[in-house]
Amino acid sequence: MVIAITRKVSPRFSECELTHIERVPIDLDLARAQHSAYTQALVSAGCQVIELPEEANLPDSVFVEDTAVVLPNVAVITRPGADSRKPETKSVIQALTPYRELVHIGEPATIDGGDVLVLGKNIYVGMSMRSNKEAIVQLQKLLDNYGYIVTGVPLQDCLHLKSAVTRVDESTLLINGNWVDAANFLIFNLIEVDPSEPYAANCLPVGNSIIYPTAFPRTCHKLEQHGYRITGVDVGELAKAEGAVTCCSLIIE
């Protein structure tokens, strides 16, 4: 059984942190409906969903991915880069404790889970405005005994590494080469997003399908041409907060 931890949308969602996009009005009811449909897509993909209650005073807390990095034998509790988000880890620690040994990133390091791409025993960390070099040092020390190699990856024009590249399967990545250098991932098969869809590089493989935003039909078609089964979800309101499909869950396999 694959477990997915999610969290309901905060009533203060419209006060979310923004870095690379302009603030526009967010329809809270629609955001909640889209998140509910996303949760149902996880269930349909075979996940047992653990939905944490909304955090009224934590606007970005629906994006649970940023609070932890879940690995087969251990989970790393992050220290989010935005000060307003640091309290989000408390409830996630409680939720993960039954399933994994926990280790913790400490100050002065900061790191968002959205900057962490795990590909086998290689872990890539986006050097974004939210994640710093000290986090790479700490992450390597914490995971040395588990055999992981942690590497920092430069980014441009995007919030997180997983805004620019995500895993499709064990040998294939979906990538926007304008935001992260494809040379970092030459051992993988790379599917480039359609040039008209720069935000299309974020996908969530679960079970036998890939949960993917309906906003990017051209890149979706590319994935389908490669034989992948797509479960489309509308996350347009969540995207107004710089969210995407990986952001809204922690997957425990």
6 pLDDT exceeds 90?
yes
Q: Please tell me the class of the 2-252 domain.
A: alpha beta
Helix (H, G, I), strand (E, B) or coil at 133: helix
DSSP type of residue 198: T
Average pLDDT over residues 19-36: 97
**Is 158 tagged catalytic?**
no
Tokens 């493989």 found at: 205
Contact assessment for residue 175 and residue 193, using Cβ atoms and an 8 Å cutoff: yes
Tell me what pLDDT residue 135 has.
Answer: 98
* Active-site residue, from 47, 220, 247, 248: 247
Tokens 């986006």 found at: 126
On whether the pTM is more than 0.95, the answer is yes
25 pLDDT exceeds 90?
yes
1 pLDDT exceeds 90?
no
Segments making up each domain of the chain, as ranges: 2-252
Tens of pLDDT, residue by residue over 55-75, are 999 999 999 999 999 999 999
Q: Please, what is the average pLDDT of the chain?
A: 98
* Active-site residue, from 35, 158, 160, 220: 160
Confidence band of 123 (pLDDT split at 50, 70, 90): very high
**Is 247 tagged catalytic?**
yes
CB crowding 42-76: b at 16 or more within 10 Å, else e: beebebeebbbebbeebbbbbbbbbbbbbbeebbb
Contact assessment for residue 131 and residue 115, using Cβ atoms and an 8 Å cutoff: yes
